[in-house]
Structure 1
Amino acid sequence: MLRRLLPLLFCLFCALPVAAETVLRVGNGPDSESLDPHRAVGAGDSRILTSLFEGLLTPDAAGRMVPGAAERWTVSEDGLTYTFHLRADGRWSDGSAVTAADFVWSWRRAVDPATRPLFADFLYPVQNAEEIAAGRLPPDSLGVVALDDRTLQVRLKAPKPNFTDYLYHRATYPVHRASVEKYGDGFARAGNLVSNGAYMLVEQVPQSHVTVARNPHFHGTAGVAYDRVRFYATEDTQAELRRFRAGELDITETVPPSQIDWVRENLPAEFRLAPRAGINFIAPNLRREPWKSNRALRLALSLTIDREGIARRILRDGEPAFTFVPPGLPDYAPALPAQAAWTQDARDALARDLYAQAGYGPDRPLTLTLLYATKEANKQMAVAIAARWQSVLGVKTLLENQESKVVLGRMRDGSYPDLMLREWFWVFPEKYLEIMRSREQRNGNGYQNPDFDAAMAVADSAASRADFAQALQRAEGLLLSDAALMPVTFATSRHLVAPHVTGWIDNLRDSHPVRYLAPK
């Protein structure tokens, strides 16, 4: 009897529905450039890396820092020694244990000049990190030590109350030593990359997408809902919107400014508009004349920018920016310059006087090039700014747009001719000002001011939050007085999120780790 039933039972089992694989499709902006945590630059790569790696601390669904690879930590009374206790179930995607030695080796790599790291400064609070990055000390002198497999001790050069917040950054992620030593720069490619996060890298298609799959060895894999996530290159924001409307994307990287009114009316449930810690600004190339020595010219151009008009009529969101550091960040309140309270007509009048003082006018008009990364919002800002310079000062502006990775490269090596439209996003006030230090390799416009550097050094060693804020205010005041950059607007986050995606929480970081998202 049983033998006769077995074929029937087998057929019934085969007829049971197989759970469909869940796939999240994310618009991710410009094409991925690098998935090496210590070399990656763009926000899109950062989103992918957040799915692949886990630092000692990690952002939760609301962007708050919570235990990650470390389950707990203690801080010494003098604030100089942090002891992190790693979780026992921390694993790499190949199944091997994540150890304190992995973090020691990785952090040394992250500040080693041989790595050509771009964000070593996130480890500068650690003892000797800055000297190592400058080539003055060997990497093994970094103030980190593995007390045992699961205990990491970190020694700071000075107390840093928000040090654990810095561990949000990809520069502090661990990398798999054996893979790096075996594959060299190729360790971060599909088929080679071993990671310790919720997902692992399975596919890279240039100019198309990056696919990650759930990491079965991740300690929290039971709470990860999507089996796979595809991060699509969507530099064309209009095309991204069309793909979302066609059901080809579940989340967009942004919403084109020209479509915001339409989206508000037609996709109100999907539209997510929220404040974001960030700024759009113009950086003059201070390595070249006339920008290097002509403060009056820089200030004239800055005053002429109609920030309110760009924020309200062009971008249709955001706030006009008269400071470099956005408002609302912890431990800091930017001091507004006097012209923030003026009318635009008053700013224009002073700008004309300064333009003449700079040596320009109807008989000697200025011609300049403004470089920006290809994106609709950037183009609209650039066109509006150029029109103002022409109408108020008679300046002729040549607009040049390039792929984001090209613009980033020209920013890093300072090869752009005149002005560059840039954006910068962080939730720490000092991270805005630090990129303008003379030592900083991301200081693409070549700003050099010993007084500014000195004020930032005071902030580095400030004994209290009040002293810290006071030093930053002095540094920012010098920066704005020099017109070393031209603030335009503070940023917002604009996304479309499909109704069947749950777990999305708006936050200042605009951080939305895919491990917390789930299908409805």
Structure 2
Amino acid sequence: MKKWLMLLLTVLFAFTLAACTATDSSGDGDSDETETENEDNSGETNEDTSGDDVTTLNLNNGQNPTSLDPPKGFDSASWNVLNNLMEGLTRLGKEHTPEAATAEDWKVSEDGTVYTFMIRDNAKWSNGDDVTAGDFVYAWKRLLDPETASPAAFLGYFIKGGEAFNKGEGSKEDVMVEAVSEKELKVTLEAPTGFFTHVISNPAFFPINESVATENPEWFAEADSFVGNGPFNLAEYNKDKDMLLKKNENYWDAETVTLEQVHFAMVDDTNTEYQLFESGDLDVSEIPSEMSEELIDSDAVSITEQAGTYFYRFNVTEEPFQNEKIRKAFALAVDQQEIVEYVTKNKEQPAYGFVSYGFQDPSGNDFREQNGNMLETDPEKAKQLLEEGMKEEGYDELPEVTLTYNTSESHKAIAEALQQKFKTVLDVEIGLENTEWNVFLQDQKDLKHQLSRSSFLADYGDPINFLESFTSDSVMNRTGWSNDEYDQLIADAKAESSDEKRWELMYEAEKILFEEMPIFPVHFYNHVFLNKDNVSDIIRHPVGYLELKWASKE
């Protein structure tokens, strides 16, 4: 059904079996390319300063990257750029599975807890320096350093000593990442983790040139100082306007890269983006929702799977959403099917749980199908729960509610649909507020919103990645919700060596999440783009990374 994840989990299972006997894993592969938070302004093509004709792919990044510092740029706007400027030990291939990248080979211990990576002799930084094991040690410990305050730090908790260091309960020296030699990296995990090579393909695990970063801690902020190790270099960076990437001749696999330049515009309006596509200033565009019926079946459209969920967060520390019944009333009033049919119109699947389709358990059952619908539209039940919740709180009138979303026409359309639904079903008037992305995100982290839109794109191919976002201490929680039983289930699932038991724990955790309803889902994501007919092999991985290594433009 979801072929990419079936293949992925087959491969991951093979890795798990291989851990029983010390194994070598390698592969120079071809490859293809969302909560993470996933958001979508001139579209003019940059000219090469030499005056020669160059092959330039013109894309829209939607907005300025949050950061090009790998542990801090933890969102799709940053990943789109970072994944093409840099590279980890592994890289997702065209079939969305981990392949050898900066590491040409690796070995796994018999108990599955120790990985030894061999870094390519010809792995170079864009300034000509060798990429070393020490660069990975430096980067990964910085990811986990509490002073870095990385939203992606939790991904490093698979590494022995990583969580303790990040939480101030251990030292940097206790993090079990070691440079055995200049080109050999040894990593010890807390428990066998069959999908670890998938986890470390995430941009949060990209290396950092230690000597460059030591000399200039803001090395990532400007094009002139940026040093990467990926298929492209950062040539120009005009914040909030555009950026230009040029082919990195020092990249170990430079001969595979056919594009000479990639120009990213930053247009946060889909209608404007489409106009730039029509005028030839962009090679790729999303489809404006009002044009979906006209364009969705066009030969120029590509639709691919994406592991992620569009959802809303309740702030359970603010009235009236401290009350579970009131939260459920709002959630049950939502008609997900109506939204995907009449508002987004991009052939998304309505979401009635948080974990998306495409993850198979050891018995071959899809997680979403096996755990069933966690909620369903029920106007009458919604009205009843609202009445009961207000009575519990002593409300004669519901406190004022504001729904907040970050600036985007598509987010606005969904917000307006919800506003109308809450009025129709619950007879509740809510206000709408939109803010610029960085302000929105910080306010959400600071629990300044009552009800706010969100998106989650999987960081690696396992359901635990969805569910770990809502543990009490997760920086991805952003609801104020806390449940000890839920926290324990997630901790147990991460430590569980039996795959069957691990999945049972995850099924139970998702049920608790929806029993208390700190969130409600709207739809599962997919990738829907219009592409010029002379453009090919732009890969969008289900976990949200844009891949241009194999892209071409004739």
Do they fold alike, i.e. is TM over 0.5? yes
The within-5 A match list for 1:446-485 is: 446-485=480-519
Q: Against the structure 1 CA distance between its residues 187 and 443, is the aligned structure 2 distance closer, same or farther, given a 3 Å change threshold?
A: same
Is the 1:57–1:66 contact (alpha carbons within 8 Å) kept by the matching residues of 2?
yes
| 1:505–1:144 distance in 2 versus 1, CA, 3 Å | closer
Alpha-carbon distance, 1:289 to partner = 2.8
Query: Of residues 451, 462, 466 in structure 2, which corresponds to 1:419?
Result: 451
CA distance in 2, matches of 1:516, 1:509: 18
Distance 2:106 2:502 in 1: 24
Shift of the alpha carbon at 1:399? 0.6
CA contact (8 A) 1:61 1:504 kept: no
1:223-266 deviation per Cα after TM superposition (whole angstroms, max 9, x unaligned):
111111111112111100100110001123x322222122236x
Distance 1:161 1:55 in 2: 18
Report Cα offsets for 1:320-350 as digits up to 9, x if no partner: 111011111244613124754xxx4xx1111
Cα distance in 1 for partners of 2:270, 2:166 equals 37
**Structure 1 residue 276: deviation in Å?**
1.5
Distance 1:473 1:329 in 2: 12
For residues 511 and 145 of structure 1, the distance between their equivalents in structure 2, rounded to whole angstroms, comes to: 28
The equivalent of 2:290 in structure 1 is 258
Q: How far apart, CA to CA, are the structure 2 residues paired with 1:303 and 1:425?
A: 24
Closer, same or farther in 2 for the Cα pair 1:97/1:311, shift >3 Å? Answer: same
3-state SS, counterpart of residue 262 of structure 2: strand
Q: Distance in 1 between matches of 2:539 and 2:131?
A: 29
* Residues 325-474 of structure 1: pairs in structure 2 closer than 5 A: 325-331=355-361, 333-334=367-368, 335-337=371-373, 339-340=375-376, 344=377, 347-359=378-390, 364-416=397-449, 418-426=450-458, 427-474=461-508
1: distance between equivalents of 2:343 and 2:473? 36
Work out whether 1:141 is the aligned partner of 2:170.
Answer: no
Q: How far did residue 190 of structure 1 move?
A: 1.0
1:187–1:358 Cα change, 3 Å = same
Please state how far the C-alpha of 1:65 moved relative to its aligned partner. 1.6
Other-structure match for 1:117: 150
1:99: which partner in 2?
132
- Tell me what 1:308 maps to: 337
Pairwise mapping of residues 204-283 of structure 1 onto structure 2 (< 5 A)? 204-252=237-285, 254-264=286-296, 268-283=298-313
What are the Cα deviations for residues 474-506 of structure 1, in whole angstroms up to 9, with x where unaligned? 111000000111111111211121111121356
Would the aligned equivalents of 1:198 and 1:224 in 2 still touch at CA under 8 Å? yes
Tell me the CA shift for residue 391 of structure 1: 0.9
> Is this contact kept in 1: 2:490–2:509, CA < 8 A?
yes
Q: Amino acid of the residue matched to residue 279 of structure 1?
A: T
Q: Distance in 2 between matches of 1:510 and 1:495?
A: 14
How far apart are the structure 2 equivalents of 1:45 and 1:62? 22
Amino acid at match of 2:332: L
Q: Deviations over 1:341-389 (max 9, x none)?
A: xxx4xx1111111111011699524531001111122111111111111
Write the distance in 2 (CA, Å) between the matches of 1:505 and 1:180. 30
SS at match of 1:255: coil
Q: Distance in 2 between matches of 1:80 and 1:339?
A: 38
Q: How far, CA to CA, are the matches of 1:515 and 1:330 in structure 2?
A: 29
Q: How many residues were matched structurally? A: 494
Post-superposition CA distance 1:170-198 (Å, at most 9, x none): 11100111221122134442111111111
Distance 2:253 2:52 in 1: 21
Change in CA separation of 1:53 and 1:488 when aligned onto 2, cut-off 3 Å: same
* The 10-residue stretch of structure 1 (365-374 or 222-231) with the greater mean CA deviation from structure 2: 365-374
Aligned CA-pair RMSD: 1.9
Query: Percent identity of the aligned residues?
Result: 27
Matched-pair contact (CA < 8 Å) for 1:324–1:487: yes
**Paired amino acid for 1:325:** V
Structure 2: any 5+ residue segments left out of the alignment? Answer: 1-50
* 1:49-60 equivalences in 2 (<5 Å): 49-60=82-93
CA contact (8 A) 1:303 1:351 kept: yes
Aligned partners of 2:482, 2:120: CA distance in 1, in Å?
44
Q: Which runs of 5+ in 1 are unaligned?
A: 1-17
Question: C-alpha separation between the residues in 2 aligned to 1:487 and 1:442?
Answer: 16
Alignment of 1:495 onto 2:511:
no
- Residue identity opposite 1:318 in structure 2: E
Structure 1, residues 78-121: CA drift from partner, whole Å, max 9, x if none? 11101111111100001111111111111111100111211011
> What is the match of residue 3 of structure 1?
none
* Deviating more after overlay: 323-332 vs 239-248: 323-332
Alpha carbons of structure 1 residues 338 and 167: separation in structure 2 relative to 1, 3 Å: closer
Q: Is 1:78 aligned to residue 78 of structure 2? A: no
Tell whether 2:548 aligns with 1:514. Answer: yes
Cα separation, partners in 2 of 1:118 and 1:329, compared to 1, 3 Å: same
Change (3 A) 1:410 1:517: same
Tell whether the 8 Å contact from 2:60 to 2:264 is kept in structure 1 after alignment: yes
> Could you tell me the TM-score, scaled by structure 1's length?
0.91
2:329, 2:498 → 1: CA distance?
A: 37
Shift of 1:402: 1.2
Q: Distance in 1 between matches of 2:87 and 2:540?
A: 21
The alpha-carbon deviation at position 64 of structure 1 amounts to 2.4
Structure 2 CA distance for partners of 1:199 and 1:507, relative to 1, 3 Å: closer
Instruction: Work out whether residues 404 and 433 of structure 2, in 8 Å CA contact, stay in contact via their aligned partners in 1.
Output: yes
1:440 shift after superposition: 0.8
CA contact under 8 A between 1:113 and 1:132: conserved in structure 2? yes
AA aligned opposite 1:20:
D
Separation of aligned partners in 1, 2:353 and 2:118: 40
Distance 1:93 1:338, change over 3 A: closer
SS of residue matched to 1:175: coil
